[in-house]
Amino acid sequence: MPARVVVVGAINTDLVIRGVRFPEPGETVVGGVFERHHGGKGGNQAVAASRALRRKPAQPRGRAKAAAAFVERAASLGLSERRGDVVLVGAVGDDPFGREELEALEADGVNISEVAIHPGVATGTALVLVNESGANLIAVAPGANATLKASEVEAALQRHIGPDTVVVASLEVPVDAVVAAGWTARAMGARFVLNPAPSGDIEPGLVRLAHFLTPNDLEIGDLVPELLDRPVEAAEALVAVDNELAVVVTLGKDGALLATQGSTRAVKPLSVTVVDSTGAGDAFNGALAAALAERRPLLEAVSRARTAGGLAVTRPGAREGIPWSDEIDATPEPR
């Protein structure tokens, strides 16, 4: 059976003005460059998992363009060789942004049959200002993401969970939808990856549903506030409470940390030049889910995820920088 990943999460359109001074209240600032990107943790993680399960398609050239386009379209429909399938469970509005997001996901090989289209509500949208020094201000209107229902998630997972399925969910959608993902995954024998992002208060019961927990070094402080700024001890404390849990902490330029019952391992970072760190965590989580669905050993899965996240920061754009399977394979382990 091929590997299968089911992602539950948000789908957004990101509207960015880059290289502009932040305005004061009531002030209008003119300048910068406008960009539009596909986004949302759910969409990004689904693309990351899909790419981690297939090779990068050849770039079409000259007379071969039409043939290459056909091959890529066939790949997106599952007609060419790939090591698994990725299903996204989420919601968009019945609007141009929603249609464009679905087209982009499908072109990247993601099964969008479980993405609900909700009329009368806008597709999730993020407004991002990036100043000259790279700092950002972000406001997000969740739109359709906030309308995703627990019943929709449960029904979707029941249709798609099978042998070796890994379910991954993040917190840009309603918490009851994430709880439904965890309960359904466990009830049907799938493994559940909880990415507790964005940061905030998290119900302990939700954490107990996870087989794998993937906070970053800030988010783990929300999970164990008494061990703030001590990620190693915080990860070990979580594992001590649940001996079936594996905690994977992403540490940015310092790599990652894997804590399981009786073992804590450091995963070395790649040595890379950072161009854009947006979406690195999503690349990590998608690649981790894909590797787990392939039944790779846990340390190997975390190492592949580290590599995916490391490669992602070397290219601009949250989704544009996500690497493919052959790029992950070709990257040597850091010494």
Looking at residue 316, its pLDDT comes to: 78
> Could you read off the pLDDT of 168-195 as tens digits, one per residue?
999 999 999 999 999 999 999 999 999 9
More confident residue, 272 or 11: 11
Its pTM stands at 0.90
- Whether residue 58 is predicted with pLDDT greater than 80 in this model: the reply is no
User: What residue has token string 């141009």?
Assistant: 96
Residues 6+ apart with CB under 8 A from 44: 38, 279, 282, 283, 286, 318, 319, 322
> Could you read off the pLDDT of 189-201 as tens digits, one per residue?
999 999 999 988 7
- Whether residue 31 is predicted with pLDDT greater than 90 in this model: the reply is yes
Looking at residue 79, its pLDDT comes to: 39
Q: What is the mean pLDDT of residues 10-16?
A: 95
Looking at residue 335, its pLDDT comes to: 80
Looking at residue 70, its pLDDT comes to: 46
Does 31 map to a domain? no
Share of the chain above pLDDT 90, in %: 74
Q: Which one of 14, 108, 282, 329 is the catalytic residue?
A: 282
Does 118 map to a domain? yes
Looking at residue 225, its pLDDT comes to: 92
Indicate the helix (H) or strand (E) that contains 185. Answer: helix 175-187
- Whether residue 317 is predicted with pLDDT greater than 90 in this model: the reply is no
Of 279, 278, 292, 268, nearest in space to 212 by CA? 292
SS (H, E, C) 129-163: EECCCCCEEEEEECHHHHHCCHHHHHHHHHHHCCC
Q: Is 282 one of the annotated active-site residues of the chain?
A: yes
| Secondary structure (DSSP) of 261-281 | TTEEEEEPPP----S--TTHH
- Whether residue 74 is predicted with pLDDT greater than 80 in this model: the reply is no
| Secondary structure (DSSP) of 219-256 | HHHHHSGGGTT-HHHHHHHHHHH-TT-EEEEE-GGG-E
Cα 185 to Cα 43, 45, 165, 171, 192, distances in angstroms = 19, 18, 9, 16, 6
Domain containing residue 113: 3-21+41-329
Which stretch, 39-43, 130-134, 272-276, has highest mean pLDDT?
39-43
Give the C-alpha separation, 302 to 287, whole Å.
Answer: 9
CATH number at residue 129: 3.40.1190.20
Does 302 map to a domain? yes
DSSP β-ladder status, 3-8 and 12-18: unpaired
Does 32 map to a domain? no
**Tokens found for residue 24:** 């004061």
- For the chain, what's the residue count? 335
The edge-to-edge listing of strands for the beta sheet with 12-18 is: 33-39, 12-18, 124-130, 136-141
Does 334 map to a domain? no
Share of the chain above pLDDT 70, in %: 93
- Whether residue 48 is predicted with pLDDT greater than 50 in this model: the reply is yes
Mean residue pLDDT across the chain? 91
Give the C-alpha separation, 312 to 265, whole Å.
Answer: 23
Does 26 map to a domain? no
Instruction: Identify the sign of the CA torsion 181, 299, 110, 85.
Output: negative
Give the C-alpha separation, 261 to 245, whole Å.
Answer: 8
Specify the number of domains making up the chain. 1
Give the C-alpha separation, 148 to 176, whole Å.
Answer: 9
- DSSP category for residue 168: E
Band the pLDDT of 81: cuts 50, 70, 90.
low
Does 152 map to a domain? yes
Looking at residue 82, its pLDDT comes to: 67
Q: Residue 172: CA atoms inside 13 Å, Cβ hemisphere, count?
A: 29
Does 188 map to a domain? yes
Looking at residue 238, its pLDDT comes to: 95
Looking at residue 80, its pLDDT comes to: 47
> Could you read off the pLDDT of 195-246 as tens digits, one per residue?
999 988 788 889 999 999 999 999 999 999 999 889 999 999 999 999 899 9
- Whether residue 88 is predicted with pLDDT greater than 90 in this model: the reply is yes
Number of H helices, E strands in the chain: 11, 13
Give the C-alpha separation, 38 to 193, whole Å.
Answer: 23
